[in-house]
Amino acid sequence: MTKPANIATIAIHGGAGTILRSAMNTTQEQAYHDALNEILSAGQKILADGGSALDAVACAVSMLEDCPLFNAGKGAVYTHAGTHELDAAIMDGATLDAGAIAMVEHVRNPILAARAVMENSEHILLAGAGAEAFVAQHGVELVEPEYFHTEARHAQWLRARDKEGMLLLDHDATSQAASDETTEIAPIDPDDKFGTVGAVAVDMHGNLAAATSTGGITNKRVGRVGDSPLIGAGCYANNRTVAVSATGTGEAFMRTVAAYDISARMEYAGQSLEEAAEQVVMDLLPRYKGRGGLIAVDAQGNVVLPFNTEGMYRGFAKVGETPVTAIYK
Ligand code: ASP
């Protein structure tokens, strides 16, 4: 049965971290707002036309991947070896079907690869060369590693690598540069402060879906996989409760199974979406040094976008209403 169209909602994020208002000019801010608005509008249109939440989140995340402003797909961060290793996951809240890929180096749109795993294999998570071979057979586009290169991201990696042993949340890198008196690189670099991307949606049939995609953390160890492709950690959707996509220090989201924890609080403890998300982001995650945020929607179209960092690129759009975008608190 079709529910009232006004429950249909999409929310997106482009990463959380030390995004300082003082380090951004209005042109840079506008570029983020424009990108977020364009992507929200595309997702909103799918929902308005009666499309599925799954199609809406896949479309939104593939657009975020194509946009070099964000750390996923084109513009992904560098590993310690100067390569790119991409992770992504997608989940259908109606069926609990899920698909994910990790450590791929040639997939232009990792979220489409995750969807191909979900729809064409009996597995949930494929990694590395095997994942690439499988998704290529199912029509997913592969590219040369150079495709992911951006000058800004490369400069960010060189800075991080030179600070031995330091792993930077992608979006913290600019503040790092700003506090580093020796750096020649301007702290105000719009290509330098992005994180994981994600989308969550509820469609007019009341079905939920979530999608998350990332280049991970700047200067990460080769082979490191974070929370983003792990169902329940950085991505989760269940029609009974909630759809969640997370961004932040992946290891803390893994230890707390953060996305699923929100669902469990709602299902077993009767918490509202707002209470559950607030407690996970503001109380649970910080206990494990977890920095970041998440976006979540429930089957009634309630939406929350909490974060415990200075900022998070984010926005949401309800069918029939103007999209809302924001960067800072
Ligand atoms: N959660 C991502 C990871 O740990 C990073 C991020 O969101 O910035 O790979």
Report the C-alpha gap between 207 and 51 in whole angstroms. 10
Average pLDDT per 10 consecutive residues for the chain, totaling 329 residues: 74 90 86 97 98 98 96 94 97 98 98 98 98 98 96 89 66 50 31 72 98 94 97 98 97 97 98 98 97 97 96 97 96
- Cβ of 172 less than 6 Å from ligand 1: no
Amino acid 82 reads G
* Helix 110-120 / helix 128-137 crossing angle, nearest 10 deg: 70
Whether residue 292 contacts residue 249, with contact meaning beta carbons closer than 8 Å, is answered with: yes
Give, for ligand 1, the residue of 18, 86, 217, 256 to mutate: max count of ligand atoms closer than 8 Å to Cβ. Answer: 217
- Cβ of 250 less than 6 Å from ligand 1: yes
Which numbered atom of ligand 1 lies nearest the CA of 224?
A: 9
Q: For 182-191, what is each residue's pLDDT tens digit?
A: 332 223 233 3
pTM, to two decimals = 0.91
How confident is the model at residue 2, as a pLDDT?
A: 54
How confident is the model at residue 181, as a pLDDT?
A: 33
Tell me whether residue 196 is one of the annotated catalytic residues: yes
How confident is the model at residue 172, as a pLDDT?
A: 63
Which numbered atom of ligand 1 lies nearest the CA of 253?
A: 1
156 C-alpha to ligand 1 centroid (Å): 16
Give, for ligand 1, the residue of 65, 222, 227, 312 to mutate: max count of ligand atoms closer than 8 Å to Cβ. Answer: 227
Q: Where are the domains of the chain?
A: 5-328
- Nearest protein CA to atom 9 of ligand 1, as residue: 216
Which numbered atom of ligand 1 lies nearest the CA of 17?
A: 8
Which numbered atom of ligand 1 lies nearest the CA of 234?
A: 1
3 C-alpha to ligand 1 centroid (Å): 35
22 C-alpha to ligand 1 centroid (Å): 24
Find, among 66, 88, 64, the residue nearest to 14 by Cα: 64
Whether residue 272 contacts residue 216, with contact meaning beta carbons closer than 8 Å, is answered with: no
274 C-alpha to ligand 1 centroid (Å): 23
Which numbered atom of ligand 1 lies nearest the CA of 220?
A: 9
196 C-alpha to ligand 1 centroid (Å): 6
- Nearest protein CA to atom 7 of ligand 1, as residue: 247
Considering 9, 150, 196, 309, which one is annotated as catalytic? 196
- Nearest protein CA to atom 4 of ligand 1, as residue: 250
CATH number of 5-328: 3.60.20.30
How confident is the model at residue 195, as a pLDDT?
A: 79
Find, among 209, 218, 230, the residue nearest to 297 by Cα: 209
For residues 207-240, one letter each, b for 16 or more C-beta atoms within 10 angstroms of the residue's C-beta and e for the rest, the string is bbbbbbbbbbbbbbeeebbbbbbbbbbbbbbbbe
- Dihedral pair phi/psi, residue 190, rounded to 5°: -65, -25
311 C-alpha to ligand 1 centroid (Å): 15
